[in-house]
Amino acid sequence: MGATRTTAFVLYPGLTPLDLVGPLQVMSVLERFAPECRAIVVGERVEPMETDAGISIVPQATFEEVPEPRVVVVPGGGSPTIRQMGNEVVLDYLRRVADRAEVVASVCTGALLLAAAGLLEGRRATTHWGYHALLERLGATYVPERWVDDPPFLTSAGVSAGIDMGLELAARVADVDRARLVQLGIEYDPRPPFGPIDWSTVDRDVLTPLAESSVRTELADRPHLQRRLLPEG
């Protein structure tokens, strides 16, 4: 058995549970096949944090207790995630761990936190389609794919895409064979009742005004961020 390979999942108030739990489940199951791989949920404080689904989740450790994970995963959400773009405790942790991590990953709008920390400048990345304009205004190049690899960054699109990203992550920290075992173990073989999304019919800008409204409300005390995220005039 090799050295422990820790994957830290960043928890903060108001995130979308599946953004966290989807890839967390993948990496937790991976531990059965690769005991050297360890998944842990970290937060600013060890206390219950509400999510946007009405349940609370408690981190297992603080940021200070997991200072050098091999991998870090940042989940997303709606307005509460926008609010966290002004949380220097979270952003400083992301900057510190990104210096040494092998992979820095995000799910959905978690990419906005990486971008707010200055980590995606000039990088190819993805996020939830409704927030792509904000991502680009922070210096990233939005790529409308399920997940995007720009080492060491591995970003994924909205919510359920985090499971896809999690399986790719499992293959990297262990190997493809064990990642396939995880996929089989969790029976990840999606067949949505209404078929796949026809992205050619989706207006990716339709939610931009809503995203900008969240910026105005949640970052009212961060004018420097507002100037970057909101169009002039």
Which of the residues are catalytic?
108
Say which residues have a Cβ less than 8 Å from residue 230's Cβ, sequence separation at least 6: 212, 215, 216
- The strand ranges marked E within the chain are 5-11, 37-43, 49-50, 56-57, 61-62, 71-74, 103-107, 124-125, 141-142, 147-150, 153-156
Give the count of beta carbons closer than 10 Å to the beta carbon of residue 147. Answer: 22
Residue 165 tokens read as 């990203």
How far is 155 from 146, CA to CA, in rounded Å? 9
- SS in 3 state form for 158-184? CCCHHHHHHHHHHHHHCCHHHHHHHHH
Q: How many alpha carbons fall within 13 Å on the CB side of residue 74?
A: 30
Q: Distance between CA atoms of 104 and 63, rounded to whole angstroms?
A: 15
